[in-house]
Structure 1
Amino acid sequence: MILENTIELDLSDVSKELSFLLFILRDDSQDEMIIQQHTEDLDWKLFMRLVLHHRVYPLVYLKLKGLSTSLIPANVMESLHLQYHNNTMKMLHLSREMSHICEAFTSSGIRNLLLKGPILATQLYGDLAHRTSKDLDILVDADDVEKAEKILVQLGYKLEDEHTLGNWKKKSHHLSFEHIENCTQVEIHWRLNPHFSKSFSFDQLWERKHDVILSNQTFHYLGNEDLLYYLADHGARHGWFRLRWLIDIERLLPRINSENMKIYFDQYGGQQYVGQAFILLSLLFSTKIPHDLECLTISSKSHRLAGKALYYIKRIVKLNPVPEKSVAWHYNRYLFSLMSGKQKLAYLLNKFHPSSRDALLLPLPKSLHFLYFPLRPFLWLCRYLKRESVLKG
């Protein structure tokens, strides 16, 4: 097999607790003798930290709940059961909010595609309770963003981001909202990723969409190839610091048409991110990659990116929304390595363009907005010093 000859990434420093977590997630037999070997002298507090960090407690609970009580400490199982129950309640709540928002959008003529959340749980895991979700991610046409914002405000949501200047849609790819009363978080996207490159239009994504009927309501989500592209791109940008994102890819793999995916890559690119995900899946979960797509795993760039992502997987680090200070420099270099030459150039040029955060820090009348260009370095420095002061304080 190609992967066995090409993947030589170092797993020698993976902790015993992470090794056990990986074993649970990839092995369905749950042989109690093997589990006993894994759990000898295990740091159960660290194990639970890893389970929570990687957001995989529903799957871990389901895998371990049938085992002998002598293998897993009672307090660990109690904690896992509590997390499983709380997640079920949260996913039911997110589903209700998803229903209200999508109904309001559709009634107002706003086409919408669900990116992750409860839809991903039901379609890839078969059960709402088997996957965790922090928020709702909804993609709309760029021309409908303002209309979607007004509807969310009417539904009780508050905008968390600033979009004072007229270039905010170019500077970002989503807006964040939070419900005033129930604290539900929603992100409205108008692009699948923040990369500064030409990509497919919303109309193209809409034509390839999948539909699902839940509780007599029709929801729309990305087609399989678009979903693989999006999940791989999203996971790559976040350094795969949560194992949950890799499991999403593994669950999606049986639905992928290899020939369609090859055509897709020829048109839109993204091979290196999918290749990175495949390498990590093969290495960490022994996932069998479709034969026709194994060629993606021999890309030198995918291999380098997989090695860099392991740095974050082996540690308990948070990279989103702001990377921890201890890994910030490493992570920023990693993000830059993800980009193509054109994307790097566009990214650097974009840094010279003012943002709404500049206008928030130094409000100017519209007639003087041109001053934000020469003032941008000073405003950036001011924000940086202010942020450092808060961290030290």
Structure 2
Amino acid sequence: MNNDISTMDRVKVGLVARYRRERRFRMFGLTAIVASLLFLVLLLASIGAKGYTAFRQSEILLDIHFDPAVLDVDNLATANYAALVREAVLALFPEVESRQDKRTVAKLVSSGAAHALQAMVMAKPELIGTTRAVWVTADDEVDMFVKGHIPRDVPESERRISDQQAAWIDRLIEAGRLEQRFNAAFFQAGDSREPELAGIRGATMGSLFTLAVTLVLSFPVGVAAAVYLEEFAPKNRWTDLIEVNINNLAAIPSIVFGLLGLAVFLNFLGLPRSSSLVGGLVLTLMTLPTIIIASRASLKSVPPSIREAALGVGASKMQTIAHHVLPLALPGMMTGAIIGMARALGETAPLLMIGMVAFIVDVPQGFHDPATVLPVQIYLWADSPERAFVERTSAAIMVLLVLLLAMNAAAVLLRNKFERRW
């Protein structure tokens, strides 16, 4: 009896200790999740706080006189539009007389204002000889000052805006001629050395072209390889070797694929450097292992009874795969492909190796045009010294995160809508 009591006591003590360890382990797990979410929220909040101001741009209202003496109808493309902008700015500050002050006050307006006037006149030549109120982009330093990124309460020698320029800016604001408006150029323009003129359209189009090439090449090849390995390939040492190598390729650093693309596609095949075509080929090599693994897992999830039933009614092996197994496995394959595309969208290292780090001003119109992608654009802007590029870098990260979240959400929706549980 005493032995029984002592044994039960030992069991109870052991249970108490085990439950205590389980609670401690559960608490550690919950703490890790909360800490991860907290760091994620802090990261997103930091990016959002720095980047949301990029969606607004300071603009100045000028009364532009489209002087016929300056705008020669036969040479509208080469006319001196900067002179029209300069005269309009000086008209707002008639007290400015010295040459140095005139140059300083003219710098309140971005150099892109002349190009905007050129586009207006080229589209509507009837503007010549008229005076129109036109909103033009302010210089990036003016924009930073208006948004509070350049403080007023520091000595003049420690900021990029002088006291005189600050007084001119205040006059423009009081007169209702300087406002923050939606920054459409951020979404419509390509890259630029001037922060106020830089946009993400070129990088976004480059990303879309690159992903299109990647999807068109990687999805059919990946699915075909998965079907062969899972349904047709004999089980021997060669197929085992192939499977091991596919799993290893999925874990290889992405820059290795960039080196492979540099050696094969550029040096050996001579394809155009810094093009979406080469970028898509490199990302295809990188995403193929992921798609093959996901497709094989989807094929394995189809019950053997489906195959047996199809074969039992006289279907061939190919008919069984094409008409019964593939349609049931396709949702999982599509989910794997979208996840692979999301990974490709965020890649930078392999594209740097093939020259997609170049400064590309024009928006690419095709797969052979020089292009860059959003992650590389972010990398370039993050290395720029101008303060205005800080907010544009964060804003571009926000756009990239939205695209990645959209692709991952599409993968989840496809899986939930089409997935069948057996």
Same fold (TM over 0.5): no
User: Quick one: higher RCO (CA 8 Å, sep 6+), 1 or 2?
Assistant: 2
Q: Classify the TM-score, shorter chain.
A: under 0.3
Give the TM-score normalised by structure 1: 0.27
TM-score, normalised to structure 2, is 0.25
Normalized per residue, the structure richer in helix is 2
From the CA coordinates, give the structure whose radius of gyration is larger.
Answer: 2
